[in-house]
Structure 1
Amino acid sequence: MSSAASWSYTAAATLWPLLGRDDWTGAATYGAPQVIACDYSAEVMRMTDAKGEEFISRQQIFTERAGVEPGDMILIGVSVSLDPITAGAAEVRAVTRWGDTLDRQADDYRIST
C-alpha cells in the first residue's frame, strides 16, 4: 500500500467478484466476500459505463484494489454473507483508474455503483 493510501483508505468495503452466470437460469454466481481498504462518497453523478450506457451513480468507492470489474457486487462496510444481494450490496457499474502520482506503487480506482 502506498504512503498516501495508508492514511486515506481507512474505511472497509466488502467485494463479491462475479464468477459467471448460470447457462440455464442466467443467475449470477459470486465468489467469496473479500474485505478491501477504501474511502467512499455518496454523491449522485450521471456516468457512462463500459458499454456506453448512461446510469446514475449514487456511490463512489475509492481504493487501490485492482481487478474490480463491472458486474461485481460491493458493500460499504464488512460483511461475511455469501450472498451479496441479502447483504445489501450494489452492482459495480464502472471503474475508473488513476496513476499513483506520489509513490508509483499502486494505482488508485474509483468504483461507481
Structure 2
Amino acid sequence: MSASASWSYTAKATLWPLLGRDDWAGQDAFGAPVAFDCDYSAKAERRVNARGVEFVTRQLIYTEFAQAKQGDFVLIGESTATDPVAAGALEIRAITRYADTFDRAADDFEIAT
C-alpha cells in the first residue's frame, strides 16, 4: 500500500465477487466476502459503464483494491454475510482506474455503484 493510500483509505468495505449467473433459476452465485481498505462518498451523478449503459451513481468508493469488477457487489463496512443483497450491498456499475501519482506503488480505483 502506498504512503498516501495508508493515510487516506482508513474505512473498510466488503466485496462479494460475482462467480456466475444461473439463467434457469434467475439467481447469481457469489464468492466469499472479502474486506478491503477504502474511502467513500455518497454522490448521485450520471455515468456510463464499460458497456455504454447510462446510470446514476449511489456511492463512490476509492481504493487500491484491484480485484473488483463490474457486476460484483460491494458494501461500506465489514460483513461476513453470504448473501450480499440481504446484507445491503450494491452492484458495482463502473470502475475507473487512476495512476498512483506520488509513490507508483499501486494504482487507485474509483468504484461506482
Question: Which residue is 2:2 aligned to?
Answer: 2
Name stretches of at least 5 consecutive residues in structure 2 with no aligned partner: none
- CA–CA separation in structure 1 for the residues paired with 2:81 and 2:25: 22
Question: Which residue is 2:84 aligned to?
Answer: 84
Query: What pairs with 1:49-68 in structure 2 (closer than 5 Å)?
Result: 49-68=49-68
Query: What pairs with 1:21-60 in structure 2 (closer than 5 Å)?
Result: 21-60=21-60
Q: Which runs of 4+ in 1 moved over 2 A?
A: none
Question: Which residue is 1:18 aligned to?
Answer: 18
Describe the SS at the equivalent of 1:6: helix
Cα distance, 1:23 vs structure 2: 4.3
Cα distance, 1:24 vs structure 2: 2.2
- CA–CA separation in structure 2 for the residues paired with 1:104 and 1:66: 14
Tell me the matched-pair count: 113
Structure 2 residue 105 is matched with structure 1 residue 105: yes
Write out per-residue CA displacement over residues 24-60 of structure 1, whole angstroms, 9 at most, x where no aligned residue. Answer: 2231100000000000010111000111010000100
**Partner AA of 2:106 in structure 1:** A
**Partner AA of 1:18 in structure 2:** L
TM-score w.r.t. structure 2 length? 0.97
- CA–CA separation in structure 2 for the residues paired with 1:59 and 1:45: 10
- CA–CA separation in structure 1 for the residues paired with 2:26 and 2:83: 16
Name stretches of at least 5 consecutive residues in structure 1 with no aligned partner: none
Describe the SS at the equivalent of 1:80: coil
Describe the SS at the equivalent of 2:55: strand
